[in-house]
């Protein structure tokens, strides 16, 4: 059985307790993966063991990538953010209640079907992109998609963070034993602002029903650059290029934000149809927040 990496252990140890992870572990604690460095082009490289708390509070990172800081600072609790790592938050496994219960088999445990599909519940996806109907859990992935960040994998060519996902049947596309070593962010955009909001059933310590993040640069009275991504809605973290295109070149206004946020999705399930207007409202709100 291939060994599984343990970073902060906040997701992994829960899966150990529920019998979803039973093989040997390789601890990343002593690996040299905690540095944050400037890249030659003015961007940043953050090691996979940098904590979520550092992403949310490091002065250089929060100034350069405010959308990243907002997503990292909003998740879980202060204690979890101090233990959880950049690698772990991107590669954490689904929160689907069937996957998390040892009493069921599903596509992600070697089974042949998705038990949630017949009984999705209000937390399931609203956009059906793959066989799994549980939303992808990573909030930080949304910001990294909006920044078009790269992922460094040991002994491989870098790939886009977006290419860590893209297959609704798996939580991420890294193979057994593949080690995420760092995330590389492009040079920061001068004057960029950001917004982030989540719709959540309680004040903290819960994955959101839906969430949206936006980065926005305005110059000469028009939107020069926009990055928008949403979570809680699909089995993969989702960037929204159509929304971004509708914004760029336009004078920013509430009316523009509401128009650009219209998703035109057909709900996958009646139980989750509420997520469409909810997500549209979140997108318009985070754009206004950024402005």
Ligand X SMILES: Cc1cc2nc3c(=O)[nH]c(=O)nc-3n(C[C@H](O)[C@H](O)[C@H](O)COP(=O)(O)OP(=O)(O)OC[C@H]3O[C@@H](n4cnc5c(N)ncnc54)[C@H](O)[C@@H]3O)c2cc1C
Q: Does 139 bind ligand X (CB under 6 A)?
A: yes
227 vs 252, which CB is nearer to ligand X?
227
Query: Which residue in the set 46, 50, 76, 161 belongs to the binding site for ligand X (CB under 6 A)?
Result: 76
Of 81, 111, 80, 85, nearest in space to 98 by CA: 111
Q: Kindly write down the DSSP assignment for every residue of 119-162, as one continuous string.
A: S--TTS-SS--SS--SPP--SHHHHHHHTT-EEEETTS--EEGG
Report whether 217 contacts 235 (CB < 8 A).
no
Give the total residue count for the chain.
291
80 binds ligand X per the rule CB under 6 A = yes
Contact 287, 141 (CB under 8 A): no
169-198 footprint of ligand X as x/- string (CB under 6 A): -----x----xx------------------
Nearer to ligand X, 4 or 167 (CB): 4
Distance between CA 67 and CA 61 in Å, rounded? 10
Between 50 and 64, name the residue whose CB sits nearer to ligand X.
50
Question: Facing residues of 195 across strands?
Answer: 214
Among 46, 56, 89, 185, binds ligand X (CB under 6 A): 89
Site membership for ligand X, residue 84 (CB under 6 A): yes
Shortest separation between residue 155's beta carbon and ligand X, angstroms: 12
189 or 200: CB nearest ligand X: 200
CB-based contact 114:131 (threshold 8 Å): yes
Say whether residue 132 binds ligand X (CB under 6 A).
no
Q: Residue 205, interface with ligand X (CB under 6 A)? A: yes
Q: Which residues contact 210 (CB under 8 A, 6 or more apart)?
A: 198, 199, 230, 231, 232, 233, 275, 278, 279, 282
Is residue 9 near ligand X by the rule CB under 6 A?
Answer: yes
- Footprint on this chain of ligand X (rule: CB under 6 A): 4-12, 28, 48, 52, 75-76, 80, 83-85, 87-89, 91-92, 137-140, 174, 179-180, 205-208
């Amino acid at each position: 059985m291939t060994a599984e990496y343990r970073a902060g252990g906040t997701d992994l140890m829960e899966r150990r307790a529920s019998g979803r992870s039973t093989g040997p572990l390789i601890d990343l604690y002593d690996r040299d993966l905690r540095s944050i460095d400037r890249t030659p082009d003015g961007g940043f490289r953050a090691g996979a063991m940098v904590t979520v708390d550092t992403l949310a509070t490091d002065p250089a990172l929060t100034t350069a990538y405010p959308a990243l800081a907002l997503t990292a600072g909003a998740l879980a609790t202060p204690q979890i953010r101090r233990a959880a790592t950049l690698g772990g938050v991107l590669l954490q496994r689904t929160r689907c209640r069937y996957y998390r219960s040892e009493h069921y088999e599903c596509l992600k445990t070697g089974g042949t079907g998705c038990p949630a599909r017949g009984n999705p519940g209000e937390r399931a996806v609203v956009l059906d992109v793959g066989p799994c109907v549980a939303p992808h859990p990573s909030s930080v992935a949304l910001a990294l998609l909006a920044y078009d960040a790269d992922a460094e994998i040991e002994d491989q060519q870098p790939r886009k963070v977006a290419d860590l996902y893209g297959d609704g049947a798996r939580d991420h596309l890294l193979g057994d034993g593949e080690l995420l070593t760092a995330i590389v962010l492009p040079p920061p955009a001068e004057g960029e602002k950001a917004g982030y909001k989540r719709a959540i059933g309680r004040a903290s310590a819960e994955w959101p029903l839906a969430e949206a993040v936006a980065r926005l640069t305005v110059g000469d009275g028009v939107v020069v650059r926009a990055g928008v991504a949403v979570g809680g809605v699909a089995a993969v973290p989702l960037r929204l290029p159509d929304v971004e295109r509708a914004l760029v070149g336009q004078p920013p206004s509430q009316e523009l934000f509401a128009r650009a946020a219209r998703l035109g999705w057909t709900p996958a399930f009646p139980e989750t149809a509420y997520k469409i207007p909810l997500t549209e409202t979140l997108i318009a709100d985070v754009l206004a927040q950024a402005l």
